[in-house]
Amino acid sequence: MKIAIASDHAGFRLKEALKPALKELNVEADDLGTYDENSVDYPDYAEKVAKGVASGEYERGILICGTGLGMCISANKVPGVRAVTVNDEFSARMSRAHNNANVLTMGERVVGPGLAADIIKVWLETEFEGGRHSRRVDKMTALEDSSRG
């Protein structure tokens, strides 16, 4: 699986800490920045990952900021993106199985590196269940389409 990962300055250390975990999972992860702890604006990095996922260049995306929240709000502005902020393994599993989430966001100020590694493992390995959940995901897409200006 090919994914994109990015963070702002507040998520930089967690992004770096997750790289060995991604390698262990045999996931090819393109790091789209930021590359140090200098202050940046999280929507710029959410845009890179979200557009990469929406275009099909990447199957999934991972975004990290201080809380995961700004990244999630920003990523969800891109049509085709279903971003979720996840801070526990149960939500990670359900966001894939029921919501077919394609972008995961986390907060470095919320989760430690051990839990974050467990979360990405569950999230990357859980398949969408389809069935009745497809109808609901399709309705989310329809809502997105009908809300366009």
Chain positions contacting ligand RB5, by CB under 6 A: 8, 10, 42, 65-67, 69-70
- Between residues 10 and 27, which has the closer beta carbon with respect to ligand RB5? 10
Which position among 9, 72, 98, 133 bears the catalytic label? 98
Minimum separation from the CB atom of position 69 to ligand RB5 (A) = 4
Minimum separation from the CB atom of position 136 to ligand RB5 (A) = 27
- Between residues 52 and 68, which has the closer beta carbon with respect to ligand RB5? 68
Closest listed residue to residue 105, CA positions, set 77, 65, 45, 47? 65
- Helices 113-125, 89-97: axis angle to 10 degrees equals 20
- Between residues 27 and 71, which has the closer beta carbon with respect to ligand RB5? 71
Is residue 65 flagged as an active site residue?
yes
Is residue 72 flagged as an active site residue?
no
Q: Tell me the CA distances in angstroms from 75 to 52, 71, 112, 126, one per residue in order.
A: 11, 6, 22, 21
Q: Which residue is nearest to ligand RB5 (CB)?
A: 70
* 34 in Cβ contact with 9 (< 8 Å): yes
Minimum separation from the CB atom of position 12 to ligand RB5 (A) = 10
Minimum separation from the CB atom of position 109 to ligand RB5 (A) = 7
Q: Which helix (H) or strand (E) holds 4?
A: strand 2-7
Dihedrals phi, psi of 136, to nearest 5 degrees: -70, -40
CA angle 59, 60, 62 (to 5 degrees): 155
**Annotated catalytic sites, by residue?**
65, 98
